[in-house]
């Protein structure tokens, strides 16, 4: 065997197993070897059924009965069913796509089952697709083990691997055992320098691979996982520090800051900036006078005033001349994630810059606009009413010759047809996926790189930010503008639902608008979740229109809709053609609708605290009192405590840190994010580990940027192909 061999060359695979492995991204023996257990089943930790609660991973010992096979009512998915009982109670078992398991077991036999507990109103406590072992069989076949019989008997735990439709944890176990016997594993060369391993007391690669798949002691599994967690963060940091070095080596304009002009610009705003806004502006202005291009991430809650900061630093760039240069005024590109948001930013910037005489343009996929323009008409002196589009070719000429200092748009700004005369600053709003390579597209061919500011309202714990944004400096706006009312947040039980609807109707009668957030798009999505009574966008919108809010216009939005359809729905909601928008969490980063003052979040217990906070932020864009109703089915005290935290907290960063400790970084925004594995995400909880990996990467890249003197590190970094979701 060679680790680069394809899995199918050494294992017989049926069509379902091939599909499952492909779905998991496992193609080679190396991929399989690095598919680590999600947990270990320990017979010493067998639980009584009457102590179980929703969401727990547990091992149960009991008698099995009620064995049968059937097909799903709607999906026609083949499944096996059973009931497991001990002296304290019983629990349902369902195996989707594995009906044969129900046929392999005998009625009344004693089995050990390991899996995740779910609880639903229709089915009660249930284990879905659990790992099951007859108690007269050891979890490890002694004759198929690398160790002696005595070693097997004292093995700490039986590894449990994440399954996919068509392939089981047991298959992974036996396949990986076979690979571990081979010389290609025993003779594997470690790619992490010995000096780093010794500094942090981490095991060598060969030892770690054995210990993570076959821990003899609890400590073995823990130290092996620590090594691979450190490794993952370390290689991400290597990639990030390489990117940072590359960007900093490019030429950028060293700016002369016009402080008097900036003070005059700020003084025209109808509010006093917060200390956090002022400090952030000063830090960015300090970056502008350095010899290298700025690369900075600005975090701030929804409504904290990031757009004000963006406008101020854009003005600073435009109103100066680079030190030692005779160029005309520089240009600013401001990119937004959606067309609707780009239009809103354009309208806001017109209000900010109207007195300056500075030209501002809007470029999106559906058209272009320019201010000042004779075609602009105003409603009550504040709201833009209509625009006459301008030709894109004409706008491109104005941008190329420097006639337009500020250009706001969507991804259209980084197309090949857009050329700037002297681009001094790039601002990216809510673009986690906008990486170094895309930044380079905005740089001139002569190696000139603009200053770069990325802004996000997503609360990210410091350790996670240090990891995924290792090439960016970090600033945080942790204050809200004066006069902004705090959202009234309530946890609503099922028997209080009608009272909440009554309060919402009062808001609608006042002319306000409402968001309703559901965890699922379609009802049938829940078929494999044993009908867990999770609200879906499609069914809930129909129910609300029929039974609760028949007199109001209700629309839906979700990720399966086309980009144009989503844009239209958000535009209609912004223009109050829609009273109630029923959506998935796709609206958490989106348009500013000041008139929307209420948000309902169905199945709130299924969202992370940081995501709940960000969703709640959709209704704090005005000085009207706003409301957030968390419709939750909290079955455990832990879940209720987690939800109570959001009713008391107003700071998203505190909640993000709490979420990290309670739920794990992989679930910070309600789903797997950032492209980091579960194991790597566990490392994010450890600030010392993140800082250690970061410092080691900085030291190495500082003296060997291209890793010419560390070819094994370089090839491993290339093989790992570090690309996170936001790139």
Tell which residue, 237, 242, 233, has the closest CA to residue 677. Answer: 233
Domains of the chain: 1-36+161-187 (no CATH), 45-149 (2.40.50.140), 189-330+422-482+691-727 (3.40.50), 342-406 (no CATH), 488-649 (3.40.50.300)
pLDDT of residue 152: 30
State the sign of the Cα–Cα–Cα–Cα dihedral 383, 388, 392, 393: negative
Task: Find out whether 690 and 466 touch, Cβ atoms under 8 Å.
Answer: yes
pLDDT of residue 323: 59
Q: d(Cα 669, Cα 461) in Å, to the nearest integer?
A: 12
Contacts of 371 (CB under 8 A, 6+ apart): 346, 350, 359, 360, 361
Where do the DSSP E strands lie in 461-506?
A: 473-477, 488-492
Q: What percent of the chain is helix, strand and coil (3-state, nearest 5)?
A: 40, 20, 40
**CA-angle at 241, arms to 237 and 247, nearest 5°:** 145
Q: pTM for the whole thing?
A: 0.72
pLDDT of residue 501: 95
**CA-angle at 724, arms to 721 and 727, nearest 5°:** 100
pLDDT of residue 29: 93
Reported as type and span, the H/E element at residue 673 is none
Averaged pLDDT, groups of 10, the chain, 727 residues long:
91 91 92 89 75 85 89 80 90 86 84 84 82 51 30 54 83 91 88 93 93 87 91 91 86 84 92 94 94 89 88 92 61 88 89 89 87 54 53 92 91 85 88 59 68 85 77 86 82 89 94 92 52 76 94 91 85 92 78 88 85 84 86 77 80 73 49 60 78 92 92 89 49
pLDDT of residue 44: 60
Contacts of 694 (CB under 8 A, 6+ apart): 233, 237, 466, 467, 470
What letters, b where the CB count within 10 A reaches 16 and e where it falls short, cover 41-68?
A: beeeebeebeebebeeebbbbbebeebe
pLDDT of residue 140: 32
Per-position DSSP letters for 274-286, written without gaps between them: PHHHHHHHHHHHH
Tokens 């839906």 correspond to what residue?
A: 556
Angstrom CA distances, 370 to 77, 222, 392, 468, 579, stand at: 56, 60, 11, 36, 31
Query: What do you get for the CA distance between the two ends of the chain, in Å?
Result: 35
């Amino acid at each position: 065997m060679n680790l680069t061999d394809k899995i199918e060359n050494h294992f017989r695979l049926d069509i379902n197993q091939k599909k499952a492995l492909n779905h998991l991204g496992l193609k080679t023996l190396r991929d399989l070897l690095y598919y680590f257990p999600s947990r270990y089943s320990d017979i010493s930790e067998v639980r009584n059924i009457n102590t179980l609660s929703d969401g727990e991973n547990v091992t149960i010992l009991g008698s099995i009965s009620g064995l049968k096979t059937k097909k799903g009512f709607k999906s026609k998915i083949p499944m096996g069913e059973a009931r497991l009982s001990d002296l304290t109670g019983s629990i349902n078992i369902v195996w989707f796509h594995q009906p044969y398991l129900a046929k392999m077991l005998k009625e009344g036999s004693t089995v050990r089952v390991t899996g995740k507990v779910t609880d639903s109103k229709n089915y009660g406590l249930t284990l879905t697709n659990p790992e099951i072992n007859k108690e007269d069989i050891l979890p490890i076949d002694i004759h198929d083990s690398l160790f002696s019989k005595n070693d097997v008997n004292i093995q700490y735990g039986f590894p449990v691997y994440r399954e996919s439709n068509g392939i089981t944890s047991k298959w992974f176990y036996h396949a990986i055992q076979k690979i571990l016997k081979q010389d290609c594993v025993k003779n594997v060369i470690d790619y992490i320098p010995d000096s780093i391993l010794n500094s942090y007391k981490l095991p060598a690669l060969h030892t770690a691979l054995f210990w993570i798949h076959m821990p003899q002691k609890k400590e073995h599994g823990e130290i092996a996982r620590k090594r691979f967690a450190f490794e993952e963060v370390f290689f991400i940091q290597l990639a990030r520090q390489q990117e940072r070095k590359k960007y900093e080596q490019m030429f950028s304009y060293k700016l002369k800051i016009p402080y008097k002009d900036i003070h005059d610009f700020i003084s025209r705003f109808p509010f006093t900036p917060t200390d956090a806004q002022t400090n952030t502006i000063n830090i960015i202005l300090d970056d502008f006078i350095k010899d290298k291009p700025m690369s900075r991430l600005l975090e701030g809650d929804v409504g904290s005033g990031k757009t004000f900061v963006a406008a101020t630093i854009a003005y600073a760039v435009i109103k100066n001349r680079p030190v030692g240069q005779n160029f005309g005024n520089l240009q600013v590109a401001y990119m937004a994630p959606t067309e609707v948001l780009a239009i809103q930013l354009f309208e806001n910037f017109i209000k900010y810059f109207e007195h300056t005489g500075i030209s501002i343009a809007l470029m999106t996929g559906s058209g272009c606009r320019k201010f000042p323009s004779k075609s602009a008409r105003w409603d009550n002196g504040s709201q833009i009413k209509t625009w006459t589009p301008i030709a894109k070719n004409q706008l491109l000429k104005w941008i190329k010759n420097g006639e337009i200092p500020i250009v706001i748009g969507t991804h259209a700004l980084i197309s090949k047809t857009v050329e700037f005369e002297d681009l001094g600053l790039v601002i990216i709003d809510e673009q986690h996926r906008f990486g170094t390579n895309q930044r380079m597209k905005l740089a001139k061919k002569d190696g000139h790189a603009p200053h770069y500011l990325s802004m996000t309202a997503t609360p990210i714990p410091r350790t996670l930010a240090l990891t995924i944004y290792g090439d960016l400096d970090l600033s945080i706006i942790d204050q809200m503008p004066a006069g902004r009312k705090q959202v009234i947040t309530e946890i609503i039980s099922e028997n209080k639902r009608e009272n909440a609807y009554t309060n919402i109707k009062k808001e609608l009668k006042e002319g306000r608008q409402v968001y309703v957030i559901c965890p699922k798009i379609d009802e049938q999505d829940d078929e494999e979740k044993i009908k867990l009574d999770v609200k879906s966008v499609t069914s809930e919108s129909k129910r609300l229109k029929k039974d609760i809010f028949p007199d109001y216009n209700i629309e839906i939005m979700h990720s399966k809709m086309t980009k144009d359809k989503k844009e239209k729905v958000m535009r209609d909601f912004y223009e109050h053609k829609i009273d109630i928008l029923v959506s998935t969490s796709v609206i958490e980063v989106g348009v500013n609708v000041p008139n929307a003052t209420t948000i309902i979040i169905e199945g709130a217990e299924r969202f992370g605290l940081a995501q709940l906070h960000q969703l709640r932020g959709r209704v704090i864009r005005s000085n009207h009192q706003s409301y957030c109703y968390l419709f939750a089915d909290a079955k455990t005290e832990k879940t209720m405590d987690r939800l109570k935290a959001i009713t008391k907290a107003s700071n998203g960063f505190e909640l993000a840190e709490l979420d990290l400790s309670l739920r794990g970084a992989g679930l910070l925004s309600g789903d797997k994010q950032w492209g980091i594995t579960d194991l790597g995400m566990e490392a994010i909880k450890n600030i010392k580990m993140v800082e250690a990996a970061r410092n080691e990467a900085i030291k190495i890249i500082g003296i060997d940027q291209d890793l010419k003197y560390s070819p094994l590190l370089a090839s491993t970094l290339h093989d790992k192909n570090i690309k996170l979701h936001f790139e």
